[in-house]
Chain A
Amino acid sequence: MTITPFIIMAVILFCLGIYIVCTRVNAIGFLLGIELILNAASVNFVAFARYHENEIGGQVFTLFIIALAACESVIALAIVLGVYKNYKSINTTNISSMKH
């Protein structure tokens, strides 16, 4: 089986992630976009690990990405909760108390 379909899928996931990040105003939506980007990288790593023979680095990397994505979500959601307590909103457009 060729590697191309996997790469195309990863690129589509990546572009969707970037699209979501660019368009969503909701902080949670933004985080979902980041998750998609991370998953695109995971797909790439696993596919490339199969493609290069005797290489397991990619699969190990994917395990770490999964674990760290969970950590990142936990921390990001905690911060979103803190923001909600202060602003009563999680829309990124409303959260700008600092002068630009």
Chain B
Amino acid sequence: MNNIESLKSYFSSEIVLILGLVVLIFLSLRRGHSDHKSMSPASSVVSVVTLFLAITAALSVNFTESQPLFHGMIALDPFGQFFKILIMGTTLVTVVFCTCSRDLENTPGPEFMAFLMALCLGLNVMCVSNNMLMMYLAVEMASLVSYIMAGYMTENKRSEEAGLKYVLYGGLASGVMIFGMSLLYGLTGSLDLVSIRQVVINNPPDQLILFLTFIMILTGLGYKMAIAPFHMWSPDVYEGAPLPVTAFLSVASKAAGFALTLRFLFVAFVATEVEGTWSAVSAIDWQMLVAVLSAVTMTVGNVLALQQLNIKRFLAYSSIAHAGYMLMAVAAQSGGGLEGVVFYFMVYFLMNLGAFLVAGVILNQRHTEDMRDYKGLVRQGASGLFLALTLSVFLFSLTGIPPFAGFIGKWYVFKAVINAGLLWLAVIGALNSVISLYFYVRLIKFMLVDSAEKNDTIERVPLRFASLISIFAALTLVFGLYFAPLVKWTQASVVMFR
């Protein structure tokens, strides 16, 4: 298919995002306008409409088979399509989140929305890139914008520190990644992932150098996914960045990182697929490597989360642990494992964004990020009761307790891991779930059991927040009991262009 044709039939959601981005930039150029220093309604409306159109466009793309577009730069497949929709959905929630967030009150609104659109575009391209050049461009496009957004509160010390740490770690990680890419290019003579696989299978290069190269590229990808030992930046960045940005990074950025990593691993380094079981190329057996990374990641995330009292830092470590669970499914190297990752992301989207939304409401009203100030929340008026109960739903789901959606997600992941014969990994995963129970339940105890130091009631929750939170909490409950549609969508979404 020629490029112009594929632009309009398969690339329309990206085009919509670019148009929205341009409109937002023009909006931000209106000097002296009264709403320049805040989230103006115009910019939020433009962003919501853009994202809505983009998601519709992505949903309405119908293709009979997976195929490469733009000379193999981009792969069109249900797998990429799923992650694109997930990311745009997260962006949509983030836009609503930004419209009433204390963190972003005195910052230029239209520019922020423009950055958000650019970030969404970069992450979208990350999910579908099938060529190392495209991978690098997409990662940089997403990273550069997220550096700016993490340091967006220019008057705030912590936000600036977050921006600096993010840019330094990110620059280093992507530098190491492209050095690895240059070596892989030298070894295989191609930038295209499909041709790299053919070279690696047919005339395998020197094993040691190939392994080093692989590790280098995995450094850059691991930084995007925030997995240990490349997670150092994430607690500080998540704590310092404005709350909506933290919520966005912990879901969308991680999702795109996983999509890119899975594509890299399964397209370039998997030789054959027989009845849902994939086997790695003989030159690199990455199953053990990924399994060890996943065990380290979840242990680091869970153990360090134990002592956190800041809600943003707490959720940062919790999201590292969840990346570990998802990586566990990747290590299974099977169709079931891929389904596990995709399914886990759907429920992770609901429960993690939900928890961040509740934290956002409390930050707006109480001006606190300290979890000890959540004490006795359930007895502080009707709104307090609502927030305490919904946050408990999200936290129980994050722990993976039935009947919440998080349990089903974990069940799929563990099933894939046990089917792959990695029993030791499943045991570590189960132990980690037990550790996580302690700190999630501690916060629930703060809210439901303990009594508050001073007894002031929570004011009415803004309607946008209340409706989003209730939808997310309801879905977390519903999908814990009736998850057949999710499973169906998951099974359709694991087809990858190879």
Contacts and interface: CB of A to CB of B under 8 A. Distances in A.
B491 interface: no
Interface residues of A, number: 47
Interface string A57-100: 11011001100100110011011101101110000100111110
A7 to B, nearest CB: 8
Judged by DSSP, the binding face of A is helix
Interface stretch (B46-54, B91-99, B161-169, B342-350): B161-169
B451 interface: no
Contacts, number: 125
A95 B133 contact: no
B326 to A, nearest CB: 26
B286 interface: no
A19 interface: no
12 contacts: A14-B179, A31-B171, A34-B168, A41-B175, A44-B182, A61-B181, A68-B137, A71-B140, A75-B144, A80-B164, A82-B163, A86-B160
Contacts of B172: 21, 33-34, 37
Interface in A1-45: 7, 10, 14, 17, 21, 27, 30-31, 33-34, 37-38, 40-42, 44-45
Contacts of A65: 136, 178
B163 A37 contact: no
Given A55-B189, A64-B137, A82 B144 contact: no
Interface of B: 132-133, 136-137, 140, 144, 147-148, 151, 154-158, 160-161, 163-164, 167-168, 171-172, 175-176, 178-179, 181-183, 185-186, 189-191, 236, 239-240, 310, 313
Nearest to A87: B157
Given A87-B157, A95-B164, A96-B161, A79 B185 contact: no
A47 B182 CA distance: 10
Given A57-B191, A82-B151, A97-B157, 16 more contacts: A14-B179, A17-B175, A31-B171, A37-B175, A41-B182, A42-B182, A57-B133, A57-B185, A61-B182, A61-B185, A64-B137, A75-B147, A82-B160, A85-B154, A92-B168, A97-B158
A86 B147 contact: no
Contacts of B157: 86-87, 97
Judged by DSSP, the binding face of B is helix
A17 B172 CA distance: 9
Which of the listed residues B157, B179, B239 has the most CB atoms from chain A within 10 Å of its own CB?
B179
B179 A44 contact: yes
A38 B175 contact: yes
B108 to A, nearest CB: 14
Given A64-B136, A83-B160, A58 B144 contact: no
A37 B147 contact: no
A79 B164 contact: yes
Q: Which 3 residue pairs are nearest across A and B when measured between Cβ atoms?
A: A44-B182, A37-B175, A48-B186
A96 B158 CA distance: 8
Contact of A75 (B161, B167, B183, B239): B167
Contact of A40 (B147, B179, B310): B179
Contacts of B140: 68, 71-72
A91 to B, nearest CB: 11
A30 B178 contact: no
A78 B178 CA distance: 24
